[in-house]
Structure 1
Amino acid sequence: MTSIKRIRLSQYSADVMDTTDDDILMSPSSPHNGLTKSDDLGDMTFCMSNYAKEALKMMYMMRQHHMLTDCVLEVDNELFHVHKVVLSSASPYFKAMFTGGLKESEMSRVRLQGVCPSSMAKIITFMYTGRIHISEVTVCQLLPAATMFQVPNVIEACCAFLERQLDPTNAIGIANFAEQHGCTILKQKANQFIERHFTQICQEEEFLQLSAMQLVNLIRKDELNVQEEREVYNAVLKWVKYDEDNRYPKMEHILYAVRCQFLTPKFLKEQMKNCDVLKRVPACREYLAKIFKDLTLHKRPIVKERKPNTTRMIFVAGGYFQHSLDILEGYNVDDRTWTTLPKLTVPRSGLGAAFLKGTFYAVGGRNNAPGASYDSDWVDRYDPLSEQWRPCAPMSVPRNRVGVATMDDLLYAVGGSSGNEYHNSVEYYDPEQDRWFVIAPMRSKRLAVGVAVVNRLLYAIGGFDGENRLSSMECYHPENNEWTDMPAMRYPRSGAGVAVLNQYIYVVGGFDGTRQLSSVERFDTDNKVWETVTPMKTSRSALSVNVIDGKLYAMGGYDGTHFLSNVEVYNPSDDVWEDGVPLTSGRSGLASAVIYQPSCPQNYSQECTVAQNPTKRDYDDNRRLPPNNDGNNSSMNCNYSSNVYQNLRGSGSGSGNHDSNETEETNCDENEESPKKNKSTCIFTQMRERCRTRSRHLHPLQQQQMQQQKLNDINSNLEKVIRNHTKCKNPNASCSMQRLRRRFQYFLYNHIRHSDCQNKGNENNNT
């Protein structure tokens, strides 16, 4: 049973005057109560945690009844009775006014300018209660007022509110608004949003209203999240054409901020020939002509590629472990975690992979399923936004262990094999036409070839020609449509991992015909020489290599005995290999590619959905978080009350009580009539209507699900036809049937897509 300590009343009155803010209530039952055996009859200190809150409540009630108020604030003919000591404790502005020897310190009535009555009422209510209600209409007036009166808690609440409202329709306006009022963190958040959603933002009216200097500062950023530089170029053209007569003279200066070195020669040629704006500015045409010449001469760009400040992931597809795999996984480089993604449509190993315009492509490979082993000419594309796989036009021939790379917005498939036939053929895929085009063949047949692109030159490295492992390398010139020999590697190898970092082409591991290799070579494309670097810790072939943050990631493979799951990371600045986060399972013959998370409309449409629920838009405290669902904000108000009460003690003031019904704040909201809202210059005026408009349309995922259901129904009927009509004992029959099924499915998909487009067009015409 807890013993009760006896307090000597003779010392109580003296001790209570010496109480400090650091005093706490020490429980007699606590083993560390600060009392020794000799102090059993000593003094105790008590701290009432709710006292400051209750005192401010009483002050607020007294203000409502004009009790002991010593000042009247006049704002646009509206009067606010206040206590000077409360305002001084909550605002440095009022503290300087009432204690700095100014004439207002002697006045009982002070007139304020530059603030509206509703904002003044909200700020005064907050000073007494620590609670404030913020809406789309009031925030644009409340933040300037809070900045004027130097009330940091209200400023933080307004910034947190605006941060949650960020949308492509208002992000630029919020960034400018934050800059005007010195809200550094909000400005930073808004600018990050603009960078991540540039593709959507450049379609909005705010983007077209930017000044030339603002536009240049925006498109110069490395963090701009675009899939290709063409998006930035087109955005600049759109901005100029919005007011062409006044803006076209600025085109030359703005064009220098676009990284035109990463535009394709084909696109540059079309622009120089057809763009009306460029015809009015000869200097721009000359600038693009120079870049076009540098690209065709394969000079290294003098500017760096953009690095969006978004989530970076390595997609890993397929592979082999006892049989071909259909897995697709994503490795998040920032938080070092693996995520399972929708499976491949068909298991495959020895495939190639690449990202092109934000879409992941899985090319060729081999399906080593029991009883049905065949090489594939299939090509599938995966959209990370919709998380859906879609078929593409098949290649001209099946290609197992194919080399894949992207150049000039085209997807190249190099070498590979079909059964016992080894390919030297090469073809490229144009996603705009959904077609494959065969180009000049390589000088050597190459299975398990490594490919890389540097300065618009396609390199084919090593491989197996059916007899020998190769050390040779050849280079493809797209302008001449021809291959030329390049210096050979020091060691022959096939199944090596190949990646580009700066001007170097790294060739990692592989198989030399007798053993797996751990050695690593790199080719200096400037000096045309090979050199060796530190070998990997583990010998491996049939691995996959990628580059992120200036480091090489070597993943998976086969060491001659085991299928590997370990990952090694190479830092060229230290010339050291380190262990990375392993794959979820061991495999060889996998393919991988790097993606920067594309700008997803869902990221901000969800925020707009929240915007339609006013209960989640009310900030009832001085923190950057919305109120709790249970409405319990006592701890927040208590913290604010304690801070204010501490200032009151320093000023030598008294206490009061608070009426739970905040009458002035309620009256302020009621006085904001709807006509004023419509006339307001608030940056949110069109947001809710845009959100409602979005919700009226069928979601793209629902459209894709309906389309996929059509394909599934037709494909099931096709399966029945094949089972009923296939009576063939040829062992290659299953392979032929798989190809037939695949081609028929591809045909049906495009037929349905074309039909849907026609139906939409007819609906629009009827409307």
Structure 2
Amino acid sequence: MSSVNGNQEESPTRDSTAGAILDSSVGSHADTLLKRMQHFVDNQQLCDVVLIAGIDGKRVSAHRLVLSASSEYFLAMFAGSLRESKEHEVTLGEVHGDALQLLVQHCYTGSIELHKDTVETLLTTAKMLQLTSVVTTCCNFLARQLHASNCLGFAFLAEQYSCTELLRVAQAYTCQHFMKVCHDQEFFQLNANQLGKLLSSDELRVPTEEDVFHTMMSWVRHDAPTREQHIPKLLAKVRLPHLPPSFLVDHVENVCSASNECQQLLLETFKWHSLPPERRSLIAATERTKPRKYILGVLLAVGGLDSSLNGVNAIESYCPYLKKWTTWKLKFNCIDVGAAIMNNKLILLGGYNGRQTLNSVVSLDLNTMASVLLNPMRTARCKVGVGVLDGHLYAVGGTSNYNSILSTVERWDPIARTWSDVSPMCTERSSPGVAVLGLRLYAIGGSFDTPSMESYDPQTNKWSLRAPMNRCKGEVGVTVANGFVYALGGLRDGDPLKTVERYDPTTDTWSLICSLVDRIGIGCALLGDRLIAVGGFDRTSPHNNVEEYDLVRNVWNKLAPMSVPRYRPHVFNIPNIIPPPPAPYTPVADKDGSKPA
């Protein structure tokens, strides 16, 4: 007796009287059977059903057994009580003959060849016939063809046929490349509901919210007579509170006059702008009051001292879109440099190189990463505070050679490319916190428990003392948000503080707000509507902690830490001039776990 067994391995010690055993592997056996079946269908042998394409009438012969084993659709048709189970010819409506033939062939061979001009037809037909592996392969193929000119169409196709992964990838691509997509013809063919869904996405990557408004209006003007009626619904998707008041007056008001709904949105927005941050929670929180992820920009952490109190020669950038820090290498071999962002360039001033205090000034272009030397400062400075006011760069105080603390201030004119002295401060300050608010420059604290603050008026070239902080502080982290100056942490009687104070220039008063972990030398900046505290030094070592302060809820939350601790880092919020890399596309696995080719 001869036995064919492809599923169970026979024991070699089996009784020899059982006869010879042919042990074929499952793969080779299945391949042989499929090749035989394919030979039968190619030669019209033993076929028991003819499939007829409903669109063009093409006839495709096949075997019910093979079709039923490949597709739940055919299994339900032929193994159940449907009329088609007894018929020799079955017509499939809304099916193209060429696609049907390729898919039937796939049932015999397990392979299929895809082309750009036929893949969408194959996808829709395979979806109808419940050939899941083909659907997955088609989706992977389309995902690799994504472009600004087709991503909206692919997303619509994926949504129509419930191709979840292709829909996710196409929508992500659309958001990532929105500024190109919105100029393509596909964009202007969207209906109002599709556009509204796109404009409401938090993932939309645009330089400013103004671009969102202009994009919406370009879609409306493409067919104004029929599309103007949709303005109220679409305007609600624009995050109006994040448009400058001047833009609202110049561009938004004139499209709101004919609609009570639009006027209500505008009224809500002006009210939001008029309230201080702590009172904005009185307005019902909506998506409109939340800045989009990408518009937030990125944070740069520059310089500072590491755990060994050596200078950190690398920039790190934090992307709120990816929620992580990325390290850039930067070659400067000095510590305690001053830094500022001016015209999309990082300006590094002075510092200490281990031998002497420097007066050098380096400009690093954040688009090209090319650096150039600018004219040096008139005075060598390290631990210098830096601010940009009315297009001019100010170097404030610091420490000169021989550890002499400075009260002098000098100003860089980028047009004349010269430095000039301005009026000195009332107080000598090393590592002062410097802030720009309105038309004034503020110098706050210093490294030796200096609680005082003074402001500089460039019109009069005079410094004036302002209300001191409530707690004696030196080495405070300083930034500006929503019309207030914030001072974080700092030093008091040699001990680091956890307090955070806020200065109101309209009343010349300081008030305490929610505390954080006590430390000095904190770097801070504004990211969207959140205050960010970066690094600092506690009683023993520098931190790599990063926290965000919710101005409305008055709470601190942790963010992803930096890769290295930094004491006295400079932190800036810059536009997304260096976009984060997109997440790579990962092909979807078939149900058996294999990855389609």
TM-score range, shorter chain: 0.7 to 0.9
Instruction: Look up the SS of the partner of 2:384 in the other structure.
Output: coil
In 2: Cα distance, 1:344 partner to 1:159 partner: 45
> 2:523 is matched with which residue?
544
| Counterpart contact for 1:70–1:83, Cα < 8 Å | yes
Instruction: Look up the SS of the partner of 1:131 in the other structure.
Output: coil
> 1:463 is matched with which residue?
445
Deviation at 1:69, TM superposition (A): 0.9
Q: In structure 2, which of residues 163, 178, 184 is the aligned counterpart of residue 183 of structure 1?
A: 163
- The 1:47/1:162 distance shift into structure 2, 3 A limit, reads same
Instruction: Look up the SS of the partner of 1:66 in the other structure.
Output: coil
Q: In structure 1, which of residues 326, 338, 343 is the aligned counterpart of residue 330 of structure 2?
A: 343
1:374-412 deviation digits (Å, cap 9, x = unpaired)? 3466554412xxx53466999999886335599xxx989
1:339-392 deviation digits (Å, cap 9, x = unpaired)? 542526896634345699xx5x42453232356633466554412xxx534669
Give the letter aligned to residue 127 of structure 1.
C
Please say which of residues 418-427 and 123-132 is displaced more in the overlay: 418-427
In 1: Cα distance, 2:172 partner to 2:463 partner: 44
> 1:71 is matched with which residue?
49
Please say which of residues 550-559 and 173-182 is displaced more in the overlay: 550-559
In 1: Cα distance, 2:336 partner to 2:510 partner: 33
In 2: Cα distance, 1:452 partner to 1:259 partner: 28
- The 1:142/1:472 distance shift into structure 2, 3 A limit, reads same
| Counterpart contact for 1:403–1:413, Cα < 8 Å | yes
1:295-344 deviation digits (Å, cap 9, x = unpaired)? 36656665433343799965322335787665323467899976542526
In 1: Cα distance, 2:194 partner to 2:95 partner: 29
In 2: Cα distance, 1:474 partner to 1:216 partner: 46
Q: In structure 2, which of residues 566, 569, 591 is the aligned counterpart of residue 590 of structure 1?
A: 569
In 1: Cα distance, 2:388 partner to 2:548 partner: 23
> 1:56 is matched with which residue?
34
Q: In structure 1, which of residues 242, 259, 263 is the aligned counterpart of residue 243 of structure 2?
A: 263
> 1:204 is matched with which residue?
184
> 1:647 is matched with which residue?
none
Give the letter aligned to residue 544 of structure 2.
V
Residue-pair matches, total: 562
Residue 448 (1) aligns with residue 435 (2): no
In 2: Cα distance, 1:118 partner to 1:467 partner: 82
Instruction: Look up the SS of the partner of 1:368 in the other structure.
Output: coil
Residue 519 (1) aligns with residue 504 (2): no
- The 1:469/1:181 distance shift into structure 2, 3 A limit, reads same
Residue 327 (1) aligns with residue 314 (2): yes
Residue 304 (1) aligns with residue 289 (2): yes
Deviation at 1:171, TM superposition (A): 1.2
Instruction: Look up the SS of the partner of 2:366 in the other structure.
Output: strand
In 2: Cα distance, 1:115 partner to 1:435 partner: 75
- The 1:295/1:422 distance shift into structure 2, 3 A limit, reads farther
Instruction: Look up the SS of the partner of 1:367 in the other structure.
Output: coil
In 2: Cα distance, 1:474 partner to 1:26 partner: 92
Residue 373 (1) aligns with residue 357 (2): yes
Instruction: Look up the SS of the partner of 1:271 in the other structure.
Output: helix
Give the letter aligned to residue 422 of structure 1.
S
| Counterpart contact for 2:359–2:378, Cα < 8 Å | no
Deviation at 1:250, TM superposition (A): 3.2
1:483-540 deviation digits (Å, cap 9, x = unpaired)? 999975442223223468999987443234x52514233549899741463534xx4x
- The 1:72/1:498 distance shift into structure 2, 3 A limit, reads same
1:157-187 deviation digits (Å, cap 9, x = unpaired)? 1111122222222111111111111222221
| Counterpart contact for 1:393–1:435, Cα < 8 Å | no
Instruction: Look up the SS of the partner of 2:127 in the other structure.
Output: helix
In 2: Cα distance, 1:588 partner to 1:118 partner: 68
Please say which of residues 218-227 and 550-559 is displaced more in the overlay: 550-559
- The 1:582/1:109 distance shift into structure 2, 3 A limit, reads closer
Q: In structure 1, which of residues 110, 113, 132 is the aligned counterpart of residue 93 of structure 2?
A: 113
Q: In structure 2, which of residues 506, 517, 531 is the aligned counterpart of residue 535 of structure 1?
A: 517
Alignment of 1:206-245 (within 5 A): 206-245=186-225
1:570-596 deviation digits (Å, cap 9, x = unpaired)? 587998998975644x65442234678
Give the letter aligned to residue 591 of structure 1.
H
Deviation at 1:150, TM superposition (A): 1.5
Instruction: Look up the SS of the partner of 2:205 in the other structure.
Output: coil
Task: Name the Cα RMSD after superposition.
Answer: 5.6
Structure 2 spans left out of the alignment, 5+ residues? none
Please say which of residues 147-156 and 202-211 is displaced more in the overlay: 202-211
Structure 1 spans left out of the alignment, 5+ residues? 1-8, 29-34, 477-481, 608-616, 628-767
- The 1:294/1:99 distance shift into structure 2, 3 A limit, reads closer
Q: In structure 2, which of residues 66, 72, 84 is the aligned counterpart of residue 86 of structure 1?
A: 66
| Counterpart contact for 1:91–1:150, Cα < 8 Å | yes
> 1:717 is matched with which residue?
none
Residue 567 (1) aligns with residue 544 (2): yes
| Counterpart contact for 1:348–1:365, Cα < 8 Å | no
In 2: Cα distance, 1:495 partner to 1:411 partner: 26
Instruction: Look up the SS of the partner of 2:521 in the other structure.
Output: coil
1:553-608 deviation digits (Å, cap 9, x = unpaired)? 7555456886x3x4135587998998975644x6544223467866859969x99x
Give the letter aligned to residue 477 of structure 2.
G
In 2: Cα distance, 1:475 partner to 1:56 partner: 86
- The 1:347/1:264 distance shift into structure 2, 3 A limit, reads farther
| Counterpart contact for 1:160–1:624, Cα < 8 Å | no
In 2: Cα distance, 1:440 partner to 1:156 partner: 70
Alignment of 1:97-112 (within 5 A): 97-112=77-92
- Whose relative contact order is higher, 1 or 2, with alpha carbons under 8 Å and at least 6 apart? 1
1:33-92 deviation digits (Å, cap 9, x = unpaired)? xx9xxx999999967231223322221122111121111122224221100111112122
Residue 126 (1) aligns with residue 94 (2): no
In 2: Cα distance, 1:380 partner to 1:207 partner: 38
Q: In structure 1, which of residues 161, 165, 179 is the aligned counterpart of residue 141 of structure 2?
A: 161
Residue 171 (1) aligns with residue 151 (2): yes
